[in-house]
Amino acid sequence: MTTETIDKTHNGVLRQLAALQKMTQTEMLEKWRDIYGAEPPPLSRGFLLKRLAYRIQELYYGGLPQPSKEKLQQHMKDYRENSKCSAGKNSAEVKRILPGARFLREWHGQRHEVIIRENGFEYNGQIYRSLSAIAQKITGTKWNGPAFFGVSKNFKKGE
């Protein structure tokens, strides 16, 4: 880590945070190498930006106190143990929707119908791979398809 890369003054932190917004992906990856001392993981630009901003502030203001880190580690351990224990229960709760089922949604005064097929989802005579693709076709913007059609988050197309 070079001292030129990290300006450890309050104004320096603010300048670095502002500069992050203007960086290219390549510059952000180089900044990552400088302040983490490691190769960057394959992350989106938005996530890199957040992690770099956090790290710059962490270097100036200090990170979490050790007791807080330990508490977080314990919470993560508890979460992992609990989610493994309940994995079988959760998978049994997945609701299977059989081919032939229909989803109806009214959007801007127009009724839209989707039929579950063996090979996908039929909408207006065309087969789509996902409900999200149909929701985007209807709205013109990205949507979570199951949420758009009011289907449970545990929805799974089944036989």
Mean pLDDT for each consecutive 10-residue tract of the chain (159 residues)? 54 89 92 90 87 90 87 86 54 62 89 90 92 93 88 64
Q: Which residues pair with 97 in a beta bridge?
A: 157
Instruction: Identify the bridge partners of residue 157 per DSSP, sorted by sequence position.
Output: 97
Against a cut of 0.85, is the pTM above it?
A: no
What are the beta bridge partners of residue 122? 115, 127
Residue 103 to residue 50: CA distance in whole angstroms:
38
Name the strand (E) or helix (H) holding 78. helix 66-85
Q: What is the pLDDT of residue 86?
A: 46
